[in-house]
Amino acid sequence: MAKIKNVQVAILFEIDESIIFTLGDSIKKLQKNVKAQVQILNTPSGARPEAPRVIIFTPDYVINISLNRIDIVFNIPSHIEDKFDNVIAFCYKSFENIYEKIIEGYINYKWAGVIFDVNYSSNLKKIRSIELMTPVFDHLLNLKRKERKLASFNLQYGYEENAHFINYNISGYESITLKLPAPNVKGEMIEIGVTEDDIDETGILIKVDINNQPLLEKSDIITDFSKILDLMRSSLENILHETNLREIVNE
């Protein structure tokens, strides 16, 4: 079954060295309205502009604010992970609220992007992800393994389409539960290994990155975000055809 467990939005803008003060009152209002936890980081003065200066934690999302970008990571509710239209609606509604509270009128917008993960879990139990990626390798690439066992595989490619860049990354994933032993009072090193028995879920991960950089015809953020979500929707509808994985992946 395909699920979206992670969606990240990036908003890039002109550098604002005083971003904490620019958004200060707005952050306080957001903190009060959604009961957010705000952490102001002690970022070194010489740090890159992209380094976070403020982190905002809420039940629905986490916001990282730097001098030239705002990154939002949505916490997708588990009951809609496999309902793509609901995921998109959840992201749009959440982003619209964030935009109205702390973005609108405060930044000089440049471009935006959305990154989302589509997890195709396997019906097979206790199997390493590289075993699932082996038939993907053989199906997609005109390379001969010569009976050699595949050790690693990650495929990345992208297209420019309608003033947007759409990038795909195909890899395997594993969800693992580790049981840590009791602390060693002698201070000796504890080696923690991972075996097939520790794997709760394994599958194929397709990461899609859609952005409008460079933005030639700048619109308002909400309009551009809506266009990107439309591309996200169409990408999801055709993702197995687009990646040529329909014969490999179980929906």
Domain layout of the chain by residue ranges: 2-242
From first to last of its 251 residues, the chain has per-residue pLDDT tens of 799 989 999 999 999 999 999 999 999 988 888 888 999 999 998 899 999 999 999 999 999 999 999 999 999 999 999 999 999 999 999 999 999 999 999 999 999 999 999 999 998 877 889 999 999 999 999 999 998 999 999 999 999 988 899 999 999 998 877 666 666 656 666 666 666 777 788 999 999 999 998 666 667 899 999 999 999 999 999 999 999 999 888 76
Q: Are 61 and 210 in contact (CB under 8 A)?
A: no
Q: Are 55 and 71 in contact (CB under 8 A)?
A: no
> For the stretch 196-215, what's the b/e string if a residue is b when 16 or more beta carbons lie within 10 angstroms of its beta carbon?
eeebeebbbbbbbbbbbeeb
> pTM of the full predicted structure?
0.87
Q: Residue 191's pLDDT is what?
A: 63
| Burial (0-12, 13-18, 19+ Cβ within 10 Å), 126 | exposed
Q: How far apart are CA 45 and CA 233, in angstroms?
A: 40
Q: How far apart are CA 110 and CA 63, in angstroms?
A: 18
Q: Residue 72's pLDDT is what?
A: 97
Q: What is the CA radius of gyration of the chain?
A: 21
